[in-house]
A and B are shown apart, each in its own frame.
Chain A
């Protein structure tokens, strides 16, 4: 699976959009981009995933560049409860289901 690089930490004001970048320059054509987050002392939580089209759900939006070498997770109106570590993962869905988590981005939402 391709490696990803993310900033170590970010801050965001409450109510503003949080934009979390992820670089995955070695991504293969059949690898999906997944985002998970881990709130302190809890298990990771699925947020969203995509292949090449932009995706949106009730939690977030995922913007993938045309060359698929990077993506951005957008939390449109960050709340204090969004403070967490956000993991960007790229993987092929049919390779045994394993996810390889990197170091992620620690997002702090500031009141």
Chain B
């Protein structure tokens, strides 16, 4: 069983289109994330949701809108796609804990988005 899954694995689309990437985790975790890895391989956090509520929103254009219908899902919708949005997007999940309790993140396989 895949712990954190993402669909689709590859996404090729034209500039200006709207697209969504889906993420599901079956680990029972209460926190989910979206990361972006650009062409220089730099991995940067975009959003974090805890119990379906947004807790981290880094400096990301408002064309990106995460949606968490339940704790096991965190989808990423992108409006008006631009060339610079081309990247690999990773979903991750973890279980929040008390201070001093580690809570490693489990990552999905990534979605490679190419905007033409």
B-contacting residues of A (Cβ < 8 Å)?
Answer: 30, 32, 34, 38, 41-46, 49, 85, 87, 92-94, 96-101, 103
Q: Assess whether B99 is in contact with A43, with CB atoms less than 8 Å apart.
A: no
Question: By DSSP majority rule, is chain A's interface helix, strand, loop, or mixed?
Answer: loop
Listed in ascending order, the chain B residues whose CB lies under 8 Å from chain A are: 4, 31, 33, 35, 41-45, 48, 50, 55-56, 90, 92, 94, 96-110
The complex places the Cα of A38 from the Cα of B105 at a distance, in Å, of 13
Question: In the assembled complex, which residues on chain A have CB atoms less than 8 Å from the CB atom of B99?
Answer: 30, 92-94
Please indicate which of the listed interface residues B33, B104, B106 has the most CB atoms of chain A within 10 Å of its own CB. Answer: B104
Write the chain A residue with the least CB distance to B95: A97
Beyond A93-B103, A103-B42, is A43–B56 a contact (Cβ under 8 Å)? Answer: no
The answer, among A42, A46, A98, for a CB contact under 8 Å with B45, is: A98
Q: Knowing A98-B33, A99-B45, A101-B42 touch, does A93 contact B97 (C-beta < 8 A)?
A: yes
Q: What residues of chain B lie closer than 8 Å to A32, measured between beta carbons?
A: 102
